[in-house]
Amino acid sequence: MKKILLLGAGRSATVLIDYLLANAPVYGWQISIGDVAVDHLASKLRQSAQVRTFTFDVQNEAQRNEEIGRADVVISMLPALFHPLVAQGCLRQGKHLVTASYVPPHIRELHEEAQAKGLTFLMECGLDPGIDHLSAMRLIHQIQRQGGNITSFKSFTGGLMAPESDNNPWHYKFTWNPRNVVLAGQGTAKYIENGTYKYIPYPQLFGRTESFQVDGFGDFDGYANRDSLSYREPYGLQHIPTMLRGTLRRPGYCQAWQVLVQLGLTDDSYTLEDSGRMTYRALVESFLPATHPGASLKERVAASVGLAPESEELRLVEWTGLFDEVPIGLENATPAQALERLLVQKWKLSPGDKDMIVMLHQFEYELNGARRKLTSSLVVLGDDEVHTAMAKTVGLPLGIATKLLLEGKLSATGVVVPLHPDLYEPILEELEQFGICFTEREQ
């Protein structure tokens, strides 16, 4: 009997757990699920004799080693900063590892040792990174097999709300880690366009967007991710003139978020004085110059960021409650933490809410002397606030990859990213059985 250890059982793991439970009796798996709290799993797992749950402290080295030692493969859905701890344990005890997170330097350094031990540390196998790799590489290889030369590749992904649940002016609610959303884009975005390297510093990022349309789902804005250049080599596109990866939001979001960036509300580098008793109105006041006496707070914010007080951007900012006398109620908070605390309440999923994942690939290539365009789009809708589109698109690739690994169908060892046919073909094929299908259009 093969033994799977799943570490992390939060919102994004719901569909993964369902997949493992459905396949456990078919493939003879024994599943152990550990997290800081597992009581919410009781009703789901009551009927299964092949599942064990336990309270898990990743910092407890003895417990960590004991649980990893019992498993054949470990799936980590823990916060990314804990993956190196888990990976070190897997390496010492000769266990495979599967995660949805980016490969950090501490794990990349384990490649040769894991390879020597015949271990597979499969990373970046969720949504983004994950399905974006799988689907892009399938199309890249398809174009190249035909003899095509790819000259431009743009790829954007967004976790948004389904149209029927899109009921606030930001057109956004949290379906993923709120902190990651608040801190998104910090640093400098790097990409290449028409052979010229481009850099967008964080203070300008949300003011530099590109517009897209997806059939049946309307308009979207895309902003550049932190580093698009690093994907040229693994994608086999070292000499491509244009390559850009980014994030999708509905129109209006990026423009309003740019105001929060300009004010300094997304800064996570210092703590506020006496933040526990400060109000959000006072927080905004603290970022404004002592000018325009007699003007309202909204008018002074408008003057500070160069907008009209009646602008749509400021309407969205005002809607968050940032101009209200509401206590932050969080000691030693950074501005970003204070903002996150407010937005968690305003952007919370309501019962019955459905989210939506949108992924868009745009290729330009030359074939037989002609220039061509290929667009590939994916839209996935959530079932409810528990079985979200985010949970589907993160959890299902992980579950399928784990099954392939346990069946001995993955030959690659060391630290692996899903860029090759033995991974992308079976995973994409099975994803289609769950309604996760791309629509392609040639021009």
C-alpha Rg value of the chain to the nearest Å: 23
Alpha-carbon span 299 to 129, nearest angstrom: 41
Q: Which residues make Cβ contacts (< 8 Å) with residue 121, sequence separation at least 6?
A: 87, 90, 96, 97, 107, 110, 111, 114, 414, 415, 416
Q: What is the pLDDT of residue 47?
A: 65
Cis peptide before 129 (omega within 30 of 0): yes
Angle made by CA atoms 180, 183, 184, in degrees to the nearest 5: 75
Tell me the backbone φ, ψ of residue 423, rounded to 5 degrees. -105, -50
Q: What is the pLDDT of residues 34-64, one digit of tens each?
A: 999 888 887 767 667 789 999 999 999 999 9
Backbone angles phi, psi at 187, to 5 degrees: 110, -160
pLDDT at 46: 63
Q: How confident is the model at residue 295 (pLDDT cuts 50, 70, 90)?
A: confident
CB of 225 within 8 A of CB of 247? yes
Return the pLDDT at 176: 79
Evaluate whether 146 touches 359 at the Cβ level (below 8 Å): no
Q: Report the chain's mean pLDDT, rounded to a whole number.
A: 94
Query: 292 pLDDT exceeds 80?
Result: no
**CATH code 3.30.360.10 region(s) in the chain:** 131-256+350-381
DSSP state of 79: -
Task: Give the CATH H-level superfamily of domain 2-123.
Answer: NAD(P)-binding Rossmann-like Domain (3.40.50.720)
Q: Are strands 196-201 and 188-193 parallel, antiparallel or unpaired?
A: antiparallel
Nearest Cα residue to 91 out of 54, 118, 67: 118
Which one-letter amino acid corresponds to residue 89? G
Q: Classify the C-alpha dihedral 198-150-394-402 as positive or negative.
A: negative
Specify the pTM.
Answer: 0.93
Residue 361 contacts residue 139 (beta carbons within 8 Å):
yes
DSSP run (H or E) holding 330: none
Q: What is the mean pLDDT of residues 203-220?
A: 95
* Residues 187-204: tens digit of each pLDDT: 999 999 999 999 999 999
Domain with CATH 3.40.50.720 in the chain: 2-123
Taking a C-beta distance cutoff of 8 angstroms, is the pair 159, 169 a contact? no
pLDDT in tens, 362-400: 999 999 999 999 999 999 999 988 889 999 999 999 999
CB 22 within 8 A of CB 395: no
Closest C-alpha to 346, from 325, 385, 317: 317
Backbone angles phi, psi at 20, to 5 degrees: -65, -40
Cβ–Cβ < 8 Å for 256, 324: no
CATH homologous superfamily of domain 131-256+350-381? Dihydrodipicolinate Reductase; domain 2 (3.30.360.10)
393 contact partners, CB below 8 Å, separation of at least 6: 126, 127, 130, 131, 357, 380, 436
**pLDDT value at residue 239:** 95
Tens of pLDDT, residue by residue over 296-327, are 999 999 999 999 999 999 999 999 999 999 99
- Report residue 121's pLDDT band, with 50, 70 and 90 as the boundaries: very high
Question: Of 132, 255, 257, 252, which Cα lies nearest the Cα of 184?
Answer: 257
